[in-house]
Amino acid sequence: MDPQLIEIISLSLRVTLTAVSIACAIGLPLGALVAVSRFPGRNAVIVLLNSLMGFPPVVLGLLLYLIFSASGPLGFLQFLYTPTVMIVAQCVMVIPIVAALTRQVIEDLLGEYDETLRSLNATRFQTLTTLLWDARYSLLTGALAGLGRALAEVGAVIIVGGNIDHVTRVMTTAIALETSKGDLALALGLGIILFTLSVLVNAGLYALKQAAQRLSYA
């Protein structure tokens, strides 16, 4: 119950959960829209989304640093070295993951429901909402993948956040710092906590998914 440790864990969860929530709010409809739409350059958009899933975090951190630095285009916001820019970094990383996985799930589902939806004269919006709702359990996989990526991220957040004690120090950056200092016991302890939190979050979401499926079947 060390206060500093609790502060690090609390900031980690606040940054990650906020970033994943925003990323899902953007990535889910974006992926679904790409899945049901046909437009010039669609294949290029799909390739781009899939490619951004593996975008190097340190490169993203560098780009965001240049954007939010004092001489950057958004430097006036003074987001650099704050939890806000760490949320932005994680959000930018997670959006392609959620969008790409959503597109694949919705596109597969559309192949089954396309004729039915056409026969009902469903609008684009009705098609999107219907498919998203029907695939809600499968889409949890995309959200979990994004959550795992955000929880484990260190490259981008340490560049834009600066790993400042009591301000922007999260579990992953603290592990990197303590390892470089040679305090392997603390680094390992933080690693165990990080892994445990990841397991608990995934277990909770899995239990929620199972309960919701049983309820829908009933």
| Res 48: pLDDT | 92
**Chain centre to alpha carbon of residue 161:** 17
| Res 144: pLDDT | 84
- Local structure of 152: helix, strand or coil: helix
| Res 23: pLDDT | 95
CB 83 within 8 A of CB 15: yes
Residues 6+ apart with CB under 8 A from 32: 102, 103, 106, 128, 131, 132
pLDDT in tens, the chain (218 residues): 678 788 888 999 999 999 999 999 999 999 999 998 888 999 999 999 999 988 899 999 999 999 999 899 999 999 999 999 999 999 999 999 999 999 999 998 888 888 888 888 888 888 888 888 888 888 887 888 888 889 888 889 999 999 888 899 999 999 988 898 888 888 888 889 888 888 887 787 777 777 767 766 76
